[in-house]
Amino acid sequence: MTIAASDSNTKSSDLLTLACWMAGDFSNQKQSFANPQLFAHIHIFFRPLPFEFFSGVGFYSEQAYDHDLWTPYRQGVHRLVDLGDRIYIENYSLKDPILYAGAGRELDILKTITPQSIERRYNCSMVFIRESEMFRGSVEPGNQCLIPRNGRQTYLVSEVEITEHTWISLDKGMDIETHEQIWGSTAGPLQFEKRESFADELNAVTALC
């Protein structure tokens, strides 16, 4: 089916809006302080990569505990792809992630990441659909994003809601045989608020936001 120009422009605009909303430093400080026994204080950084990295919109991300920002427990690289009725985010791992720890906060480190330093995480892409003033995302279907944990093979279940100022996420690892939850939050989703926007860095290379 041919997409009319106005529809195509709307969908492209959705990708750009999602990119601008993703670009930032997010913290669940309020949630953590209100329920410290259930939620650690965590930062998520989504830092725009140069446009030429993917010839499109890409991000480096890291998640770290507030008390140990230089030792992120999760790092990744992400490429946004417009599929018309949805936005597909390819996920990549870093071959030697410790080399890039802190790149979410230090642009000098970010600049050392190259396409040769990443590898695709197949079956682990996220699919986002816009719902009014929110994007709702989940792992691509199939239960094939496999993560070994605690001696068991698990598949990732990830649900994310993004607005201009908030990021709500719930990640769980489920046993591939029993579908029992093996890891992840049992107290509900993590609720982040944007502390700083990096959308101007998207502007600098793509004039998106």
> Using one digit for the tens of pLDDT, what is the confidence trace for 181-200?
999 999 999 999 999 999 99
First to last CA, the chain: 29
Compute the distance between CA of residue 156 and CA of residue 139 in angstroms, rounded to an integer. Answer: 8
Does residue 207 register a pLDDT over 70? no
pLDDT at 1: 29
pLDDT digits (tens, 9 = 90+) for 124-147: 999 999 999 999 999 999 999 999
Cα-based distances in Å from 50 to 72, 85, 202: 22, 26, 8
- The conformational region for residue 10 under phi > 0 = left, psi -120 to 50 = alpha, else beta, is alpha
Does residue 8 register a pLDDT over 50? no
**Do β-strands 126-131 and 134-139 pair in parallel, antiparallel, or remain unpaired?**
antiparallel
Does residue 206 register a pLDDT over 60? no
Tokens standing for residue 39: 């939620």
Does residue 39 register a pLDDT over 70? yes
pLDDT tier for residue 150 given thresholds of 50, 70 and 90: confident
Residue entry with tokens 């990640």 = 171
pLDDT at 11: 52
pLDDT at 82: 95
Compute the distance between CA of residue 94 and CA of residue 6 in angstroms, rounded to an integer. Answer: 38
Compute the distance between CA of residue 138 and CA of residue 129 in angstroms, rounded to an integer. Answer: 9
Does residue 18 register a pLDDT over 70? yes
pLDDT top residue among 5 and 101: 101
Compute the distance between CA of residue 35 and CA of residue 31 in angstroms, rounded to an integer. Answer: 6
Compute the distance between CA of residue 21 and CA of residue 36 in angstroms, rounded to an integer. Answer: 27
Compute the distance between CA of residue 77 and CA of residue 112 in angstroms, rounded to an integer. Answer: 13
pTM for this one?
A: 0.90
Cα-based distances in Å from 154 to 170, 175, 184: 15, 4, 11
